[in-house]
Amino acid sequence: MNASAVYAWTLHDAPYENEVARRWWMLPPGTRLPLSNGEAYYLLFAGRPGSSAGPDVHDAVLSMKRGGQKLVGDIEFHVHSSAWLLHQHHTDPRYNNVLLHVVLIYDDTAPTRRQDGVVVPVCCLNDLSSTRLWPLQHEYTGWPCHAVMQQLSDQQRFNLLRRAGLLRFEQKMHTFIEQLHTSEANKRDTSCRYDPCLLPALAEGLGYGRDRAFFRAAGLYLLDSEYPLPEPLGRSMAPSPLDAGRLRMLQTIAEEWQATGIWQTLQKAMCGSTPLAALRALLGDVGLARADILICNVVLPFAAAVAILEHDTALSALAQELYESHPGLVSNRITRSMCSQLQLKTMPRGSCQQQGLHYIYQQTCREKRCEMCIAGRSTL
């Protein structure tokens, strides 16, 4: 093919990246994926679609062999393998969790190297032949949770997700207990002794869905100006309006609340006659949805941790009661994905159940450890 013919083919007949995605999502579990290094992966779970910025697929699950160790990470699609360098992915930390580069045309033998130096294997979908496509298909009978969830009544499903939600609450509570135990500031007998643990946690909560590491570091920086402040990933010189608003809220918490104590301010709101309304009013500058995320993911489990340390049974009961009665959070990619995975007809009501979806995802479903999943066991 001469140069003009190649150019004409590129303009009119070359496949687009959505063709790579279409073929990927059509692959059944068990597909053997030949790699550029001569080895192969087996596809256990195709993952979840990524956002417009970053890798095309998140949380795909692969295996080197049947029954072997599972690999969980991102997938990046390109028509040509050379596009990895062309798109500068080798300089972008957002691609440091990519474990497979999926292409249609393997036109560049240069290694697919991530920003952290790790070389990623390449799978050319055009190499999949009919004899290599579904060698394990006969072994795939669906995920165990599908059969289990269909057998449960509405009340049993509610109980299952509530139990998972409470386990997530306890998990967060124990994390805060460990942080408070190891904090040097906790040894000081002052009204603000809990704030050095609470402020970074609130800051990280403001970064959920954005740049959590940057927001947490910003909280630590506000506590101690000598703490290094990292440069946000993929940002321009000025933060976006959304991030700027959240950073202003963080500054308000650090500067205005520290006079009486951040924890003291939140505890006073919790112990009033309308605790949820009072907490929402304190945190409402970032919007109701974000305020509720901070309340359920940070404030209430932190309060439960403090209650354990101070042997305050009333505060402990109040924190759990507010958590279980919270009307619900906005859906996100995890809750939507888990509703699909568990074949739920509607999004569960109440934050406790929704957090249960997060718990199942984080503990077992992300890596498809079905044998350990509370939603996939035959007896609950």
| 1-45 pLDDT, tens digit each | 444 444 444 434 456 788 899 999 999 888 889 998 889 999 999
**What DSSP assignment string belongs to 170-203?**
HHHHHHHHHHHHH-GGGGS-STTTTHHHHHHHHH
- Number of helices (H), then strands (E), belonging to the chain: the values are 15, 9
Angle between helices 300-310 and 262-270 (to 10 degrees): 100
Quick: pLDDT tens for 246-297: 888 888 888 888 778 899 999 999 999 999 999 999 998 899 999 999 999 9
Give the helix/strand (H/E) hosting 337. helix 333-341
Contact 39, 121 (CB under 8 A): yes
Give the list of residues 6+ apart from residue 189 with CB closer than 8 angstroms, or none.
none
Residue 35 backbone phi and psi in degrees, to 5: -110, 160
Please name which of 277, 343, 336, 331 lies closest in space to residue 145, comparing C-alpha atoms. Answer: 343
How far apart CA 358 and CA 334 sit, in angstroms, is 7
pLDDT at 133 over 90: no
Q: Pick 12 or 361 by higher pLDDT.
A: 361
Whole-number pLDDT of residue 203: 93
CA distance 196 to 174: 17
- Whose tokens are 């599972």? That residue is 70
Give the count of beta carbons closer than 10 Å to the beta carbon of residue 367: 17
Report how far Cα 365 is from the mean position of its chain's Cα atoms: 12
HSE-CB of 73 using CA atoms within 13 angstroms:
16
Judge whether 341 and 365 are in contact, CB under 8 Å.
yes
Rounded CA-CA distance 347/357 in Å is: 10
User: Residue with structure tokens 């060698």?
Assistant: 135
Distance of CA 210 to the CA centre of its chain: 11
Beta bridge mates, 41: 33
φ and ψ of 131, to 5 deg? -85, -10
The H-assigned helical ranges of 238-312 are 241-256, 262-270, 275-283, 288-294, 300-310
Q: Which residue has tokens 């083919």?
A: 9
Closest CA to 320 of 155, 168, 205, 154: 168
| Rg, Å, the chain Cα set | 24
Nearest-angstrom CA–CA distance, 144 and 250: 43
What's the pLDDT score for residue 214?
87
Question: Cα(294)–Cα(287) distance, rounded to whole angstroms?
Answer: 11
Alpha-carbon distance of 47 to 74, in angstroms, equals: 8
Per-residue pLDDT tens digits for 57-83 = 999 999 987 667 889 999 999 999 999
> Would you give the DSSP letter of residue 161?
H
Residue 124 to residues 10, 79, 174, Cα–Cα distance (Å): 18, 9, 45
| Contact present, 319 and 304 (Cβ < 8 Å) | yes
- Convert the pLDDT of each residue in 159-188 to its tens digit: 999 999 999 999 999 999 999 988 755 555
Cα distances (angstroms) measured from residue 21 to each of 96, 106, 108, 126, 358:
20, 16, 20, 13, 26
pLDDT tens-digit map of 297-338: 999 999 999 999 999 999 999 999 999 999 999 999 899 999
Amino acid letter at 95? Y
